[in-house]
Amino acid sequence: MTSSEFGTYGGRYVPETLIPALDELEQGWREALADEAFHAELHDLATTYAGRPTPLTLAERFAPGKRIYLKREDLLHTGAHKLNNALGQAVLARRLGKRRIVAETGAGQHGVATATVCARFGLDCVVYMGEEDMRRQKPNVERMGLLGAEVRGVDFGTKTLKEATSEAIRDWITNVETTHYLIGSCVGPAPYPELVAELQSVIGREAREQLFTVAGRLPEAVVACVGGGSNAIGIFHGFLEDEGVRLVGVEAAGAASLGSGRAGVLHGARSSILADEDGQVADAHSISAGLDYPGVGPEHAYLRDIGRVEYVAATDAEALAAFADLARTEGIIPALEPAHALARARELDAELVLVGLSGRGDKDLAEVLAQR
Amino acid sequence: MKTLVIYLMADPETPALARAAVEGGADIIEIGFPFSDPLADGPVIRRAGERALERGMRTGPCLEVLAQTRELVPGTPLIPMTYSSLLEAYGWERFPAAVKSAGGTSMIVSDLPAGERPEVRRVQLVAPTSTDERIAYAGEQTDGWLYLVALTGTTGAREDLSPALAGLVERARRLVSAPLYAGFGISTPEHARAAAELADGIAVGTRAVQVAEDGPAALQAYVSTLRGALDAV
């Protein structure tokens, strides 16, 4: 019954109540993919509203002696790659006749993107956010409010993205007949991981073309940060078939679901998760709220197992150093999430490197200043 | 004779509570093996699970509680109710075997819909959103009886019995030969009676977990009010 599996990962490990909605979503998604009008609408929104294509920037002073190109999703409307997915799913939700949107958010970037598209299309919007993340990412909470979304704090468990996701799914179970769950990463039950990857793959497609234009060839390596993994899967998808291109995913050292996790089931999918030997999900720890998640998209677990992508980690301190260096050397303040990718990219044994700069760092200023 | 299913969270007190529930008139006991991220559960059972985990109720101790309960209530079906992550960690084949050897009768996996892991024999669930096709399929696959999720939502007490139950029972009667027991949102004798007029039995979780905090005597008294309501149908 499950149509999108990644090896033994993926699936639909959800209460029965949601199965018909997932079937409906899957069918609506297949129909949309086959419909030129859907692609035309997405393209129009991308170019006239979101700000695509995003540029490629050579970070000469950040990494002297190398050519590190930054794929500038930080310049996308709302300041992160999350909008690619939110726009696509909002268009899909309208095709399915759903007028209410529920979402989870960690760093707040997905919540802001969702609130934005709901404002744009006149949809009701509820965003679940852990209270610890609301504290760390206060500006994004304010932004969601301005955009007309209702932010519901989650005050139990880790009070971060894990619990926010669980509460969003519980809301969806309760209101499934009227509501579309606009999941923010390539996680969750099928068909979400595949759907989100497809909507984010515009990053990799564009970057590949742009690199050919500026460098005349493929990069030696593509580096992206991995929390749930949507910006990484989006950029990697542009290069999966290019066997000579190294793909490197960078996790937060305290939230390395792929590096130090085990097979487990969380939020509707089998993947690699941080859990104890009994399958109880462990707490993740990262300075970056967007990476502070004990799970990861099932496709990443598959890509790890088949050896196509290497997954490494960066510590909070390494990310903070790269954050500061990019600001000083390039005049770009990155989000803390892609700062993890920057930290690994600059020491990579490669000359031509593409880095997914998934978002901008305005939201992180208070957290960064507090660390000084 | 309508069937009364009572849910208890696995804790060291569970065997004594299960015996009290059986003495109060419960026919089947579900024993919750707690999971850190229980998607199908509302706040009461979620918090009971968090407390159980804090007390160390991991899979091994839960199986011990199951075995102890089996000794105290030798004639009552015992059904662990849990989530996929525990089976993934313990082993998809090893977990059901361990449940069986500890005296479990079947099991329920809340986030394992019919069709996923068909090799794991279990009581299947259907919901008001389920299509006829899925109800029929779950009915074929189910182990003993079919769990009707009476409402579109998570576990928890509600003011009124779900209006969706009648339609679900009507469809399931047409499609399924196994007995139909309804749960979710059933907490009072009035709910119990109204649900039992439709289905072959009822399952009560959230309110039972709350009452169980006051000990076996309180639980027995509560369960007997449900028994009385069912016997009046």
pLDDT (tens digit per residue) in A169-212: 999 999 999 999 999 999 999 999 999 999 999 999 999 999 99
* Residues of B noted as catalytic: 30, 41
Q: Of A20, A175, A276, which is closest to B130 when you measure between CB atoms? A: A20
* Residues of A noted as catalytic: 82, 104, 358
**DSSP label of A281:** B
Given a cut of 70, is residue A3 above it in pLDDT? no
Q: How confident is the model at residue A366 (pLDDT cuts 50, 70, 90)?
A: confident
Is B160 an 8 Å CB contact of chain A? no
Average pLDDT score over residue span B77-87 = 98
B40/A173 touch (CB, cutoff 8 Å), yes or no? yes
Given a cut of 60, is residue A1 above it in pLDDT? no
Residue ranges, CATH 3.40.50.1100, chain A: 5-44+82-196, 51-80+200-370
Q: What is the pLDDT of residue A2?
A: 45
B85/A265 touch (CB, cutoff 8 Å), yes or no? yes
Residue of chain A nearest B127, judged by CA positions: A17
> What is the distance between the alpha carbons of residues A41 and A46, in angstroms, rounded to a whole number?
9
Q: What is the pLDDT of residue B29?
A: 98
- Name chain A contacts of B90, Cβ cutoff 8 Å: 278-279
Distance of CA A120 to the CA centre of its chain: 21
Show the tokens assigned to A65: 């002696």
Residue of chain B nearest A169, judged by CA positions: B39
**Architecture label for domain A51-80+200-370:** 3-Layer(aba) Sandwich (3.40)
Is A1 an 8 Å CB contact of chain B? yes
Given a cut of 90, is residue A290 above it in pLDDT? no
Given a cut of 90, is residue B50 above it in pLDDT? yes
Residue of chain B nearest A264, judged by CA positions: B85
Q: Which of B111, B126, B142, B168 to mutate to test the interface with A (most CBs of A within 10 A)?
A: B111
Q: What is the pLDDT of residue A181?
A: 98
Q: Whole-number mean pLDDT of chain B?
A: 97
> What is the distance between the alpha carbons of residues A11 and A113, in angstroms, rounded to a whole number?
26
Which residue ranges make up each domain of chain B?
3-117+185-231
Given a cut of 50, is residue A255 above it in pLDDT? yes
Average pLDDT score over residue span A136-162 = 94
> What is the distance between the alpha carbons of residues B184 and B165, in angstroms, rounded to a whole number?
10
Given a cut of 90, is residue A83 above it in pLDDT? yes
Residue of chain B nearest A277, judged by CA positions: B89
Q: What is the pLDDT of residue A289?
A: 85
B39/A279 touch (CB, cutoff 8 Å), yes or no? no
Q: What is the pLDDT of residue A56?
A: 98
CA–CA min distance A184, chain B (Å)? 17
> What is the distance between the alpha carbons of residues B43 and A11, in angstroms, rounded to a whole number?
26
Given a cut of 70, is residue A213 above it in pLDDT? yes
**DSSP label of A49:** I
Average pLDDT score over residue span A142-158 = 96
Q: How confident is the model at residue A147 (pLDDT cuts 50, 70, 90)?
A: very high
- Name chain A contacts of B114, Cβ cutoff 8 Å: 16
Q: How confident is the model at residue B104 (pLDDT cuts 50, 70, 90)?
A: very high
Q: What is the pLDDT of residue B177?
A: 97
Dihedral over Cα of B127, B130, B135, B137: its sign: negative
DSSP 3-state of A370: helix
Given a cut of 90, is residue A316 above it in pLDDT? yes
CATH code for residues A5-44+82-196: 3.40.50.1100
Average pLDDT score over residue span B123-128 = 98
Choosing among 3.20.20.70, 3.40.30.10, 3.40.50.2000, 1.10.3210.10, the CATH entry for B3-117+185-231 is 3.20.20.70
Q: Whole-number mean pLDDT of chain A?
A: 96
B126/A16 touch (CB, cutoff 8 Å), yes or no? yes
Q: What is the pLDDT of residue B132?
A: 98
Locus of tokens 């079906």:
B77
| Whether pTM exceeds 0.90 | yes
Average pLDDT score over residue span B113-126 = 97
- For chain B, count helices (H), then strands (E): 10, 8
Q: What is the pLDDT of residue A47?
A: 98
**DSSP label of A75:** G
Q: How confident is the model at residue A126 (pLDDT cuts 50, 70, 90)?
A: very high
Q: Which of A1, A5, A8, A13 to mutate to test the interface with B (most CBs of B within 10 A)?
A: A13
- Name chain B contacts of A22, Cβ cutoff 8 Å: none
Q: How confident is the model at residue B10 (pLDDT cuts 50, 70, 90)?
A: very high
Average pLDDT score over residue span A296-320 = 98
CB A159, CB A133: distance < 8 Å: yes
Dihedral over Cα of B211, B216, B219, B221: its sign: negative
Residue A12 C-beta-side C-alpha neighbours within 13 Å: 24
Nearest to A254 by CA among A158, A116, A189: A158
pLDDT digits over B24-42, tens only? 999 999 999 999 999 999 9
Q: What is the pLDDT of residue A136?
A: 83
Residue of chain B nearest A174, judged by CA positions: B153
Is B65 an 8 Å CB contact of chain A? no
CB A135, CB A212: distance < 8 Å: no
Q: Of A16, A156, A166, which is closest to B130 when you measure between CB atoms? A: A16
